[in-house]
C-alpha cells in the first residue's frame, strides 16, 4: 500500500446525510485526526440537517465538486443501490472509502466494485459490518475457534429492530428501492455467522411475510436457513415489525458446550458469563461514563442473583438480563479499524471481498423466499463473481 501516508489531519466527506450519515459524522468528528468537511446528498432536507451540525460544511449535489473539495476519505452512507457507483467513482479518484453495509444490493454492483477495488490495490475500502467489532462477538468467535464447544452443528443470529418509525424518517429510499430486510439488515448476521464459524455458505432456503409492518414493501419478516460447507446449519431472522425492543441474539450449539449471547453453557447446567457490559465506551463523555457504570453495576447484581437461583440443571437460567449490543460503540470501533488501516496500523475487519460474499448469500436468500426453492450457491449464476473474489 504505497499510497499510505500518515497525515496530521484526514479530511472526510460524507455521501448521504440521513441516519447513518449523521452517526458516522459524530464518530469521525470525535477522532482527533479527522475532520468532516463535505457532504454530498441529493435532497435539500439533508443539507438542512448538515447545517444544523455545522454551518461551515461544504454541501453539494455535484459529485465532482465533492471529490474536489479537499477530502482524503469518502464515507458512503447513501441508499444501498447507490453504493457501487459512489465507491467506484471515489476509488478511481484516489480516495479511501468506508462504505455502509450492505456493500451493494445487486450482482452488477458486486462485479463493478470488485473490479474497481482490484484495479486500485493502494486504496483502502472498508465496509461497516460493525457486528464484527463488538467485544462480545469477538469473544464468541474466539470461543468457537478454540474448539471448546466440541463439534459445532448450529448457529443463529437475530436482527430484530422495529423500524415502523425509523424506516421512512429521513428518506423514502427503502420504499422506492424495495430494500428487502435480508439485504438491507439481515446481512449483518449473515456476515457475522460466516465470520464466527469461518466457513462459507453453500445453500440457502427462506420464507418471508408482510404481516406485522405491511407498509414496508414486499416483506418485513425474512427467515433464512443457511447450510455451510462443513454441514453446520445456520439461521438468520430479520424482523422489522415485531412489537418489542431490539434483539441481536446469537446462539451456537456444540456437542460439549453451547453459547447463548454472552453465556457459555455446559450440558450439566453450569454456565460462564464471558462478556459483560463495558464501561467508559465513549472516552471523555462524563454522562456516557455514568450511564455505563450504572449498567455495569446492575449487570453484576443480576449475575449474583442468577448464580444464587436454586435451579434445576435441565431448566437452567437461559437469559442474561442486560443488552450487550452497544450499537454506537460497535460503529465507532469499525470506523476506528478503517482509520487504522488507512494509517497502515492495522488490517480491515471487513474487506469488500468478505462483504461481497455476504451480499451473494443475501441475494440468494431473497431468491429463495421469492421462488420457494432452495438456492444452491454454485448454481446461482455468479461464476464471474467467484473469479473476482
Sites of contact with ligand NAD (CB under 6 A): 15-21, 41-43, 46, 77-80, 82, 100-101, 128, 130, 170-171, 173, 184
Nearer to ligand NAD, 227 or 327 (CB): 327
Instruction: Name the minimum Å distance from CB 183 to ligand NAD.
Output: 9
Q: Of 240, 186, 169, 237, give the one whose Cα is nearest residue 211.
A: 240
Nearer to ligand NAD, 246 or 371 (CB): 246
Instruction: Name the minimum Å distance from CB 241 to ligand NAD.
Output: 17
State the CB neighbour count (10 A cutoff) for residue 318. Answer: 10
Number of residues assigned to the chain: 389
CA 135 to each of CA 145, 184, 246, 279, 325: distance values in angstroms, whole numbers, following the listed order: 15, 23, 18, 12, 9
Instruction: Name the minimum Å distance from CB 130 to ligand NAD.
Output: 6
Instruction: Name the minimum Å distance from CB 85 to ligand NAD.
Output: 9
Sign of CA dihedral 76, 71, 389, 350: negative
Question: Cell triple for residue 277?
Answer: 457490559
Using CB positions, name the residue nearest to ligand NAD: 18
Q: How far apart are the first and last CA of the chain?
A: 19
Cα separation, 325 vs 246, whole angstroms: 9
Question: Cell triple for residue 318?
Answer: 437461559
Nearer to ligand NAD, 132 or 257 (CB): 132
DSSP codes of every residue in 253-309: EESSEEEETTEEEETTS-EEE---PPS--STT-HHHHHHHHHHHHHHHHHHHHHHHS
Instruction: Name the minimum Å distance from CB 16 to ligand NAD.
Output: 3
Nearer to ligand NAD, 96 or 129 (CB): 129
**Locate cell 448464580: which residue?**
307
Q: Of 382, 336, 358, 351, give the one whose Cα is nearest residue 118.
A: 351
State the CB neighbour count (10 A cutoff) for residue 215. Answer: 11
Instruction: Name the minimum Å distance from CB 22 to ligand NAD.
Output: 8
Nearer to ligand NAD, 10 or 63 (CB): 63
Nearer to ligand NAD, 46 or 264 (CB): 46
Instruction: Name the minimum Å distance from CB 121 to ligand NAD.
Output: 25
Nearer to ligand NAD, 41 or 199 (CB): 41
Amino acid at each position: 500500500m504505497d499510497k499510505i501516508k500518515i497525515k496530521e489531519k484526514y479530511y472526510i466527506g460524507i455521501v448521504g446525510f440521513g441516519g447513518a450519515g449523521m452517526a458516522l459524522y459524530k464518530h469521525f468528528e470525535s477522532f482527533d485526526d479527522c475532520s468532516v468537511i463535505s457532504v454530498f446528498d441529493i435532497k435539500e432536507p439533508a443539507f438542512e440537517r448538515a447545517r444544523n451540525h455545522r454551518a461551515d460544511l461544504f454541501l453539494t449535489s455535484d459529485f465532482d465538486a465533492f471529490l474536489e473539495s479537499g477530502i482524503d476519505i469518502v464515507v458512503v452512507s447513501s441508499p444501498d443501490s447507490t453504493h457501487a457507483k459512489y465507491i467506484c467513482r471515489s476509488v478511481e479518484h484516489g480516495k479511501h472509502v468506508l462504505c455502509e453495509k450492505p456493500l451493494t444490493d445487486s450482482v452488477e454492483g458486486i462485479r463493478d466494485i470488485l473490479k474497481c477495488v482490484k484495479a486500485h490495490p493502494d486504496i483502502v475500502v472498508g465496509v461497516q459490518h460493525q457486528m464484527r467489532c463488538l467485544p462480545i462477538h469477538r469473544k464468541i468467535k474466539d470461543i468457537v475457534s478454540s474448539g471448546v464447544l466440541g463439534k459445532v452443528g448450529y448457529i443463529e443470529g437475530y436482527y430484530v429492530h422495529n423500524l415502523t418509525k425509523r424506516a421512512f424518517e429521513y428518506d423514502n429510499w427503502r420504499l422506492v428501492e424495495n430494500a428487502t430486510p435480508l439485504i438491507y439488515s439481515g446481512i449483518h448476521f449473515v456476515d457475522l455467522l460466516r465470520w464466527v464459524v469461518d466457513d462459507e455458505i453453500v445453500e440457502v432456503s427462506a420464507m418471508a411475510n408482510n404481516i406485522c409492518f405491511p407498509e414496508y414493501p414486499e416483506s418485513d419478516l425474512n427467515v433464512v436457513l443457511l447450510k455451510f460447507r462443513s454441514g453446520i446449519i445456520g439461521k438468520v431472522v430479520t424482523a422489522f415489525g415485531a412489537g418489542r425492543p431490539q434483539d441481536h441474539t446469537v446462539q451456537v450449539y456444540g456437542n460439549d458446550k453451547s453459547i447463548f449471547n454472552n453465556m457459555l453453557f455446559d450440558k450439566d447446567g453450569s454456565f460462564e458469563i464471558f462478556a459483560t457490559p463495558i464501561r467508559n465506551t465513549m472516552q471523555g463523555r462524563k454522562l456516557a461514563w455514568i450511564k455505563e457504570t450504572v449498567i455495569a453495576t446492575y449487570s453484576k447484581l443480576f449475575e449474583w442473583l442468577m448464580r444464587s437461583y436454586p435451579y434445576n440443571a435441565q431448566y437452567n437460567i437461559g437469559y442474561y438480563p442486560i443488552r450487550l449490543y452497544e450499537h454506537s460503540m460497535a460503529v465507532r470501533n469499525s470506523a476506528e479499524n478503517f482509520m487504522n488501516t488507512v494509517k497502515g496500523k492495522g488490517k480491515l475487519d471487513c474487506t469488500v471481498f468478505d462483504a461481497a460474499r455476504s451480499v451473494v448469500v443475501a441475494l440468494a436468500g431473497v431468491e429463495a423466499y421469492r421462488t420457494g426453492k432452495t438456492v444452491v450457491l454454485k448454481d446461482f449464476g455468479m461464476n464471474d463473481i467467484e473469479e473476482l473474489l
